[in-house]
Amino acid sequence: MKIRNNIVLFCLISVLSVANVNAIFEGGWGSGGGKAVVCFDSPKIAEIVKKAEGVISSQYLSNITYMETLDLFHAQNVAGEALLHRVVANESYVEFLDRMIQKIQIADPFFAREIIKSKNEFNKRIIGFKHGPVDPTHDENYSEFQFVDQCVLTNVAVQKWDEGANGYRLHIDTRLFNHIRFSEESKATLMLHEYLYQVAREKGERDSKSTRDLISAVLTDNPEINLKDYITEFGF
């Protein structure tokens, strides 16, 4: 796996075994915090959702055949990491998330403290759950990004500035977060992304490309990947 500092333009065909469909996409990977790759049992539904800027109406929830966070999808299909840490029997996404943070702690205790601080801030005051769609977000790095057939990008969560909290508040669409197709790994990856992206924002990052690269390194079980190198690339 190689860190890319520039936007990479590519065309990739990925077989999504869970959905049993081929997702074809091309373009640059930019900010995508809280996003998920979602596939439906009908291209027509995907087109409707795409026209609605990725917002999924409740009537189409039962038509979802595959859903995975963009970060997890990136790790497997863009970074090309075949060996990934997985949830073990009876392990919740919270426990899996803690296990990944422990991995970071071994590589860099100082950086891990920053993540834990971010985690505690989110858990204490700035997570809002909503049984409905969250606002769609746009990023110029996705201007050439396109799924065809049954698959689209949607927001499961979004960070928005909250004057009352004097900080960013994380809004989560519980319809998607608790959906049967949304795995425990995806839940953990989404939360880790938000914790990391808050740290990245504080050091001046304007999109989550570096966050996604770092998450790929955290998730991989490949012994040849040096996590510390990715933490250094991230800015610590």
Q: Judge whether residue 116 has pLDDT over 90.
A: yes
Q: pLDDT value at position 29?
A: 32
Instruction: Classify residue 211 as left (phi > 0), alpha (psi -120 to 50) or beta.
Output: alpha
> Looking at per-residue confidence, does 210 or 188 come out higher?
188
Within the chain, residue ranges assigned H as helices are: 43-51, 70-77, 93-107, 109-125, 174-177, 184-202, 209-219, 227-234
Q: pLDDT value at position 165?
A: 67
> Looking at per-residue confidence, does 14 or 124 come out higher?
124
Domains contained in the chain, number: 1
Q: How far apart are the C-alpha atoms of 37 and 46, rounded to whole Å?
A: 11
Compute the average pLDDT of residues 10-34.
36
User: Would 129 be classed as within a structural domain?
Assistant: yes
The mean pLDDT value of the chain amounts to 79
Segment among 1-15, 20-34, 43-57, 58-72 with least mean pLDDT: 1-15
Span 124-153, pLDDT tens digits: 766 777 888 888 876 555 445 566 578 998
Q: Supply the angle between the helices 70-77 and 209-219 in degrees, to the nearest 10.
A: 70
User: Would 86 be classed as within a structural domain?
Assistant: yes
Q: Judge whether residue 167 has pLDDT over 50.
A: yes
Q: pLDDT value at position 139?
A: 53
Taking alpha carbons only, the member of 187, 200, 193 closest to residue 111 is 200
Q: pLDDT value at position 147?
A: 60
Q: pLDDT value at position 76?
A: 85
| Residue 114, domain extent | 11-234
User: Would 200 be classed as within a structural domain?
Assistant: yes
User: Would 5 be classed as within a structural domain?
Assistant: no
Q: Judge whether residue 123 has pLDDT over 80.
A: no
233, burial (CB in 10 Å: exposed 0-12, middle 13-18, buried 19+)? middle
Q: pLDDT value at position 49?
A: 94
User: Would 4 be classed as within a structural domain?
Assistant: no
